[in-house]
Amino acid sequence: MRVVLQRSKEASVTVDGEVKGAIRSGAVLLVGITHEDTEEDARYVADKVVNLRIFEDEEGKMNHSLLDVVGEILSISQFTLYGDCRKGRRPNFMGAAKPDHAESVYDYFNKVLKEKGIKVETGVFGAMMDVNLTNDGPVTLMIESK
């Protein structure tokens, strides 16, 4: 499982001109699932996401987690995170999980985040989505389960 986390001041996702999810301060997660990913991977990454100390304290140091600041999450499925660009000019997406498996793990991941007390908004799995965000910092991190 691979997640690109971007700390954000606000973010939203639109499908066919309709806003499907929106958050205020928190994190935008681009979530990629590969063939071998399991619920254990989803739990590991969810725990990492909510507990990473990436928000500033009173002294401007990154000492607070998403839980500490009562931040929100916009979670976007992103199979292209498993695009292999080493050969040729067109990415190979063979590393991305098939949609049925990916959607199952992705849904479980979002469920775990919600169980940890985080407000989670999502786009539409498999849809063409327009993601709009105001990056805070910018702070952008990659989290992987393997």
Q: Which residues are catalytic?
A: 78-80
Distance CA 19, CA 64 (A): 29
Is the CB of residue 9 less than 8 Å from the CB of residue 136? yes
Distance CA 84, CA 119 (A): 32
- Provide the β-strand partners of residue 72: 26, 119
Is the CB of residue 14 less than 8 Å from the CB of residue 146? no
Q: Report the largest interatomic distance among the alpha carbons of the chain, rounded to a whole angstrom.
A: 48
Question: Residue 28 in 3-state DSSP?
Answer: strand
Distance CA 3, CA 29 (A): 6
